[in-house]
Chains A and B, each alone.
Chain A
Amino acid sequence: MIEFSRLSKNFGKTRVLDQLDLTIRPGDRIALIGSNGAGKTTLIRCLLGEYVYEGQVSVNGRSPRAHRTDVLRHISFVPQLPPPLKIPVGILFDYAAKICGANSTDMGAIGARLGLDLDEISNRPFVKLSGGQKQKILIAIAMGRPARTIIMDEPTANLDPKARQILFDLMGERLDHTMIISSHRLEEVAALVNRVVELDRGKVVLDDRVEDVTDPTARLACTLTIKRADAAFAKTVAEWGLAPDKSGCLWQGSIAGPDRLRFLGMLTRYAGLLCDIHLQDKKEAAS
């Protein structure tokens, strides 16, 4: 159980969190949304015990400031911006595993699932990797730890569709965990959560349950028909894993269920080209 009680945080004269009250129960998967400056990152940093604050924050009755190692042992975190560490990836994995009491092999296995070639990048400095690779490494560390609470700040920002699908699968395997997923766009994370908390000017302005029917591991069979073959369209949908027929006008494949809104958002760029869009849940179709 995570409790924020009358939590306030000021930076100089700016009040970023204002007497915020929030209770998070085990198994809650929260979309923490709000515009830039709403207080999402500050709230997360207070929960991680990284900020001095007014009010109270407790994780299973313990303050993250006073009992940081006990509290943080059960919380894994993926930041929005990867830190510019110069150490090789292998050393980062090793350090995180030893500090967290985890096994670096478990972290490596998740990294491999996310598409990382660990043999190739193990000796490369973390900071020299691409944004997507860094994000995958941080996700691998977070998911490879025996933590019951997972906090992710814009976790899908740098991931390609294939890696996002694997992330959704990983989250689907941990539905009994508590998750806080911060994003400034609800549609990015809506399908992953069972509760939405919106912040505005440091206060909770919306706290709503979401019907928990979406399966993060679901796949949607997808068929697209376009008027004529188009190189830009072909490049984009190929990245989503769709394949064309001989004419280049019929594209078929499957996409991750939680990615459907993002996928449809991408398709709006080609509205003039599209003739037909068909999406169907593969499990429903089979039954």
Chain B
Amino acid sequence: MKGFLHTARLDISESLRARWFLLYALIFGAIVVILFVFGLSESRVRGFTGLSRLLVTYIQLTMAIMPLFVLITTVRSLAGDREAGVNEYMLSLPVSLGAWYWGRFVGRFVVIFLPVFVAMLGAVLWGALKGAAVPMGQVAWYSLLLLVLSFCFLGFGFLISAMARTTEMAQSAALLLWLTLLLFLDLILLGLLIRAQAAPELVMTIALLNPLEVFRGGAMILFDPQLLMLGPTAYLILDVFGRTGFMLYSVLYPIGLGAMLALGGFLVFKRGDYP
């Protein structure tokens, strides 16, 4: 436990000094600023005003940017550490592999979740100071969704880093994964499958396995209980789960998937060469 906590703290210290973190934090801070500048907090869409609209837009942008950012930066830094000799040295110290791996996982999780969360929280506070109503339920729900999305993609990142032997391979695999998940959103290939009259069960399974689709549905369900904006898959999903069931699924599935992927990464890491 001691090694785990020290390693988590070390990884946080290391990541906070990395360029990718600066860029990552700047991007999410900039998104919030831009949303305010363009007056999204003032608009009225589908009965929601003020911060609700801003939060929905923010969460949609985050869904597009964060997974890719988490994947690329995680695999770059972890696979890069192996190539640059960081693992060779750090793993010559008497830290257990579990403490090292999971300590880094938790440290990295804190570092990727905080900027996204703090940017959203900043927007809420700023809006509240300007007199806008704060949709507390929505803020809490989106915080939870951001947490599970970052956890899930961190799991992907750690698994890819453990499996790939070079940084280039890890980056290519991460990019390919992101593109695949993006293509299988309801609006793209999934829509084509539905038009091609593929079995509804197949379409729904693909949709429910895709953490991006699940996150998208989870983000929309608050203000669009019928998930009309999501697309045809939504009807099937809501038929099976119901609203509350889907909300639960959109939290538990990415967390479970992320944990399984990270565990898979640990098993691969433990059995192979560390440097």
- Flag the segment in B82-90, B109-117, B151-159 that touches A: B82-90
Give every chain B residue within 8 A of A71 (Cβ-Cβ): 94
Give every chain B residue within 8 A of A51 (Cβ-Cβ): 273-275
A184 near B: Cβ within 8 Å?
Answer: no
A71 to B94, CA, bound (A): 8
Contact with A along B1-23 (1 / 0, CB 8 A): 01100110110011001100000
In the assembled complex, the CB of B190 is this many whole angstroms from the nearest CB of chain A, namely 40
Evaluate contact between A99 and B85: CB separation under 8 angstroms. no
Given the contacts A85-B14, A86-B17, A99-B6, A52 and B93 also touching, CB distance less than 8 Å: no
Contact with A along B172-192 (1 / 0, CB 8 A): 000000000000000000000
B97 near A: Cβ within 8 Å?
Answer: yes
Given the contacts A45-B275, A95-B6, A50 and B14 also touching, CB distance less than 8 Å: no
Evaluate contact between B17 and A125: CB separation under 8 angstroms. yes
A50, A52, A69, A83: the one contacting B94 at CB < 8 Å is A69
Evaluate contact between A48 and B271: CB separation under 8 angstroms. no
Evaluate contact between A91 and B13: CB separation under 8 angstroms. yes
Evaluate contact between B84 and A84: CB separation under 8 angstroms. yes
In the assembled complex, the CB of B210 is this many whole angstroms from the nearest CB of chain A, namely 35
In the assembled complex, the CB of B20 is this many whole angstroms from the nearest CB of chain A, namely 11
B272 near A: Cβ within 8 Å?
Answer: yes
| In the complex, chain B residues 198-225 whose Cβ is within 8 Å of any chain A Cβ | none
Chain B at the A interface: SS class: helix
Residue of A nearest to B15 (CB): A86
Task: Give the one of A51, A73, A75, A85 with max B CB within 10 A.
Answer: A85
B96 near A: Cβ within 8 Å?
Answer: yes
Given the contacts A83-B84, A83-B86, A98 and B91 also touching, CB distance less than 8 Å: no
Evaluate contact between B13 and A87: CB separation under 8 angstroms. yes
Evaluate contact between A81 and B85: CB separation under 8 angstroms. yes
Give every chain B residue within 8 A of A95 (Cβ-Cβ): 6-7, 9-10
Evaluate contact between A69 and B96: CB separation under 8 angstroms. yes
| In the complex, chain B residues 58-93 whose Cβ is within 8 Å of any chain A Cβ | 81, 84-93
A79 near B: Cβ within 8 Å?
Answer: yes
Evaluate contact between A50 and B86: CB separation under 8 angstroms. no
In the assembled complex, the CB of B93 is this many whole angstroms from the nearest CB of chain A, namely 5
Evaluate contact between B93 and A86: CB separation under 8 angstroms. no
Chain A at the B interface: SS class: mixed
A72 near B: Cβ within 8 Å?
Answer: yes
Evaluate contact between B273 and A100: CB separation under 8 angstroms. no
In the assembled complex, the CB of B16 is this many whole angstroms from the nearest CB of chain A, namely 9
Give every chain B residue within 8 A of A85 (Cβ-Cβ): 14, 86
Given the contacts A86-B14, A87-B14, A99 and B275 also touching, CB distance less than 8 Å: no
Give every chain A residue within 8 A of B271 (Cβ-Cβ): 52
Contact with A along B214-251 (1 / 0, CB 8 A): 00000000000000000000000000000000000000
A228 near B: Cβ within 8 Å?
Answer: no
Residue of B nearest to A73 (CB): B94
Give every chain B residue within 8 A of A72 (Cβ-Cβ): 92-94
In the assembled complex, the CB of B43 is this many whole angstroms from the nearest CB of chain A, namely 42
B163 near A: Cβ within 8 Å?
Answer: no
In the assembled complex, the CB of A12 is this many whole angstroms from the nearest CB of chain B, namely 10
In the assembled complex, the CB of B104 is this many whole angstroms from the nearest CB of chain A, namely 12
B7, B84, B274: the one contacting A50 at CB < 8 Å is B274
Given the contacts A45-B275, A86-B17, A125-B17, A69 and B86 also touching, CB distance less than 8 Å: no
Residue of B nearest to A41 (CB): B88
In the assembled complex, the CB of B184 is this many whole angstroms from the nearest CB of chain A, namely 35
B31 near A: Cβ within 8 Å?
Answer: no
Given the contacts A98-B6, A100-B93, A83 and B17 also touching, CB distance less than 8 Å: no
Give every chain A residue within 8 A of B164 (Cβ-Cβ): none
Evaluate contact between B90 and A83: CB separation under 8 angstroms. yes
Contact with B along A63-79 (1 / 0, CB 8 A): 00000111111010101
Give every chain B residue within 8 A of A48 (Cβ-Cβ): 91-92
| In the complex, chain B residues 92-127 whose Cβ is within 8 Å of any chain A Cβ | 92-97
Evaluate contact between A79 and B14: CB separation under 8 angstroms. no
Residue of A nearest to B274 (CB): A50
| In the complex, chain A residues 233-274 whose Cβ is within 8 Å of any chain B Cβ | none
Residue of B nearest to A95 (CB): B10
5 contacts between A and B (CB under 8 A): A52-B272, A70-B94, A79-B92, A83-B85, A100-B93
Interface residues of A (CB under 8 A from B): 45, 48, 50-52, 68-73, 75, 77, 79, 81-88, 91, 95-96, 98-101, 125, 138
- Give me 20 other A-B pairs in contact (C-beta within 8 A), A83-B88, A95-B6, A99-B93 excluded: A45-B88, A50-B87, A50-B88, A50-B274, A50-B275, A51-B275, A52-B271, A69-B94, A69-B96, A72-B93, A82-B89, A83-B81, A83-B84, A85-B86, A87-B17, A88-B13, A91-B13, A98-B6, A99-B3, A100-B93
4 A-B pairs with the lowest CB-CB distances in the bound complex, closest first: A72-B94, A77-B92, A86-B17, A83-B86
